[in-house]
Amino acid sequence: MRDRQPEGKKQRRAGKRWAAIKPVLVSVAGDEQPLVALSTPLDVESLVAGEGSWEVELGFGKGRFLLAQAQARPEVRFLGVEQATYYYRLLSRRAARQGADNLVTLRGDALYVLSALLPAGFADAVHVYFPDPWPKNRHRKRRLFEPETVDLVLSLLKPGASLWFATDFVEYGEWVWRILASYPGFELRRIEGPWPGGPRTNYEAKFVEEGRPILRLEARRSRQPPPLHPAGESGILVAPR
């Protein structure tokens, strides 16, 4: 999500330095603890009682979608990842006040969390809505959807599970479509028109009202994919000299 707490230039610079050292935090029903107190990779089954399926949202922003889903489907367990401390705490407090004890919020950088903390193949759905497109070439390594990083996102999915994605940055959306279309083991479809339940984020509600084009898609895991995206192997694997 591109929702961010307003901050000045000095705060942004300080935030970038602090992001490298601040601990990952996990909150369940308002009970917060640093990740160092938990096992890694995370034993997600120990975080929330029950045997319900798991759904993950990466970059939940203000948490509109996650909180609504957690309340509407108490039999499902939800895990949200957000780097911005302000929004992480905002949703954590709201979840605690409203008794959404099937919702886990996690503060941390999504790429780090995906590569080091979350187990593979545990989610029945992964949601990514209106991520920062990082349009400048020098920033593209920060994207969730590049050939070198997309496997981290998709590795969360069980066989038959789906990634749900939306963006108003249509050029980026078409790029994401091409990356997913060239990754063996996934079936793609575009979602024409709005989601059946209406806008899923505050950004989406605003953009729909403004009449902006929005690209929505589903990528369903149909079979076991290769461990790395074919176009990303050369950027990840380095042969010894």
- Convert the pLDDT of each residue in 161-188 to its tens digit: 999 999 999 999 999 999 999 999 999 9
DSSP, res 23: P
Largest CA distance in the chain: 57
Distance CA 70, CA 168 (A): 25
146 or 36, which is more confident: 146
Closest CA to 126 of 20, 219, 241, 238: 219
Closest CA to 47 of 116, 118, 152: 118
| Catalytic residue selected from 31, 43, 109, 132 | 132
Burial string for 86-99 (b: 16+ CB within 10 Å, else e) reads ebbbbbbebbbeee
Question: What residue type is 109 in one-letter code?
Answer: D
pLDDT of residue 39: 62
pLDDT in tens, 186-208: 999 999 999 999 999 999 999 99
- Sorted by sequence, the CB contacts under 8 Å of residue 221 that are 6+ apart come out as 154, 157, 158, 159, 160, 161, 162, 185, 186
Share the mean pLDDT of the chain. Answer: 86
Residue 121 CB neighbours (<10 A): 12
Distance CA 103, CA 81 (A): 11
Does a cis peptide bond (omega within 30 degrees of 0) precede residue 131? Answer: no
Question: What residue type is 178 in one-letter code?
Answer: R
Domain with CATH 3.40.50.150 in the chain: 23-119, 127-233
- Sorted by sequence, the CB contacts under 8 Å of residue 124 that are 6+ apart come out as 53, 54, 55, 157, 158, 161
The class level of CATH for 23-119 reads alpha beta
Known catalytic residue at 3: no
pLDDT band at 141 (very low <50, low <70, confident <90, very high): confident
Q: Which CATH topology does 127-233 take?
A: Rossmann fold (3.40.50)
pLDDT in tens, 38-80: 666 788 998 898 899 999 999 999 999 999 999 999 999 999 9
